Amino acid sequence: MTGTARPSTAHRVGVVAVAGTALSGLLAAGLLAPSATAGPPEHTPTPAPHSPVTALQQELDALVRDDGYPGALAAVSDVHGRVRDLTAGVGDLATGAPVPRDGQVRIASNTKTFTATVVLQLVGEGRVGLDEPVETYLPGLVRGEGIDGRQITVRQLLQHTSGIPDYDELLVPEWLASGLTRFYEPHDALALGLSRPALFPPGTDFEYSNTNYTLAGLVVQQVTGRPVGEEITRRIIEPLGLRATYWPGEGEQEIRGRHPHTYFPLDRENPLPVDPGTPLTDVTDQDVSMGWAAGALVSSPRDLLRFDQALVDGELLTPDLLAEMQDTVPADGTVLRGQEEYGLGLQTYTLSCGGVAWGHGGDIPGAHTRNAVTSDGRGAVVVVTGEPTTEEQAVRLEETIDTAICG
């Protein structure tokens, strides 16, 4: 691990703060308003489990029972390569249909790991330099107050040390007001990110920003001459046989395969701050173009688990490039509890049973994903189909990953 960036001084609530392409920072920034009703029921302790699978099922049941998520689904693997699919709650509040095992969901910021992997493959091919200025690939594009693409490297984009602000704060309110149906070109989001002053000089700090990955996607397109979604598909999705994973087409709002419905307390007239007391709206159908290379992908728990394991096992990157990806900087307030380091689109997760797991996580209205894997084959992906509205709920969701891996 490297100490090239000093720890961020802006501590944020873990889950909601980093993972989401749509909701990053809303809870921590006070944009999720406190409910006018009493708080959630006290979290019921679960019996001591006999295996990680049993423990995780108990945790999923507790998330639905105590924290009010409509449904939850997961995939968990052990050191022998066995993968189990788990569900809890209902997949459709209107019909009471069960949550489909290994159903498709929007994986939001987990897309960043796919994008970073493609960039690193291009590095391996000699077509991109990690420490080359962004200006080399996108001449004249990255300019703003204190922002200059001649001073920002590709590595700094992937590691969120560029100092470029996130576009979410400006874009999310209008996206929510549109009912999550507005279409955005990548340059729409980029313009919003570049309209604000730099957060710090490049390479001196860490601040999670979706704008970084919009630029990374544009670098991929400039170098390859093909859409970033096409590159992710041909370089990762197809070789790994990820049949439930895809990049949505332009204007595509429905999920193609079996999936749970997802829900969000949406008030289109007053979208922010989000009030947990607002009745839930079915937000399964969304236009996720606002996430693009930072958050557009649809996948399933098994597919995402397969991708994470393939990445950490070296199936997608050479050892030297994987080492670059896992060379981390301090990243205060990241996605998972105990996760304090960020590499190139990949984060560390400190396990209670010892050692470190690698993953990312992703938040989008109605779907919150937590995922991490170890080098010995253990791993898990957990998805809930509603919103964590308190820090305590966010922490409990994070802790399911430790439960799944450690028991």
Residue 110: CA count within 13 A, CB half-sphere: 34
Predicted local distance difference test score (pLDDT) of residue 57: 97
Predicted local distance difference test score (pLDDT) of residue 389: 87
Residues forming beta bridges with residue 194, ordered by sequence position: none
pLDDT digits (tens, 9 = 90+) for 33-90: 433 333 444 444 444 446 889 999 999 999 999 999 999 999 999 999 999 999 999 9
**Residues 176-210, buried b or exposed e (16+ Cβ, 10 A)?**
bbeebebebebebbbebbbebebbbebbebbbbbb
Catalytic residues: 109
Predicted local distance difference test score (pLDDT) of residue 31: 42
- Please state the CATH superfamily assignment of the domain spanning residues 14-36+44-406 in this structure: DD-peptidase/beta-lactamase superfamily (3.40.710.10)
Which 3 state secondary structure label does DSSP give 263? strand
CA-to-CA dists, residue 39 to 35, 36, 390, angstroms:
7, 9, 9
Predicted local distance difference test score (pLDDT) of residue 220: 99
What sign does the CA torsion over 392, 158, 223, 183 have?
Answer: positive
pLDDT digits (tens, 9 = 90+) for 347-358: 999 999 999 999
Dist. CA 124–CA 16, nearest whole Å: 33
pLDDT digits (tens, 9 = 90+) for 15-30: 333 334 445 445 433 3
What is the Rg, in whole angstroms, of the alpha carbon atoms belonging to the chain?
A: 19
Predicted local distance difference test score (pLDDT) of residue 332: 73
Q: Find the helix or strand (DSSP H, E) in which 356 lies.
A: strand 356-359
Q: What are the sequence ranges of the domains in the chain?
A: 14-36+44-406
Tokens coding 9: 């001084």
Predicted local distance difference test score (pLDDT) of residue 51: 85
Dist. CA 323–CA 317, nearest whole Å: 9
Write the burial class of residue 160 (CB in 10 Å: 0-12 exposed, 13-18 middle, 19+ buried). Answer: buried
Let me know how long the chain is: 407
Neighbours of 216 (CB within 10 A): 26
Predicted local distance difference test score (pLDDT) of residue 407: 87
284 DSSP 8-state letter = -
Give the residue ranges of the chain where pLDDT is below 70.
1-50, 333-339
User: Angle 377-381-383 (CA atoms, 0-180°, nearest 5)?
Assistant: 175
Which 3 state secondary structure label does DSSP give 97? coil
DSSP letters spanning 24-64: TTTTTTT-BPPPSS--PPPPPP-PPPSSHHHHHHHHHHHHH
